[in-house]
Chains A and B, each alone.
Chain A
Amino acid sequence: MRARLTIRAFPVLVVLAWLAATMTALPAVAQSVAITGGKVFPVSGPPIDNATVLIIDGKITAVGSNVAVPAGTARIDARGHWVTPGLINASTRLGLVEIAMVDDTNDASARGDRQVSAGFRSWEGLNPASVLWGPARNAGITSVVSLPGGGLIGGQAALVDTMDTGRPGLVRKAPVAMVANFGEPAAGGTQARGELLMRLRELFDDARVFAARREAFENAGTRAFAVGRVHLEALAAVLAGRMPMLASADRATDIEAALDLAAEYKFRVIIQGGAEAWQVADRLAKSGVPVLTGALDSIPASFASLGARQENAAILRKAGVPVVLIAEQGETFRARTLRQHAGNAVAYGLPWDDALRAVTLAPAEVFGVADSVGSLQAGRDGNVVVWDGDPFEFATRATHVLIRGRDARTASREELLIERYKKRDAPRTP
Chain B
Amino acid sequence: MAHETHDPGHSSVSHVDHAALGEVHEHPSWGTYKWVALILTVITVTEVWIYYVPAFVASRLFVPVLLTMSAIKFAIVVMFYMHLKYDHKLFRALFTGPLAIAIVTMIVLLFLFGHLSIHAG
Q: Do A and B bind each other?
A: no
A→B interface (CB under 8 Å): none
B→A interface (CB under 8 Å): none
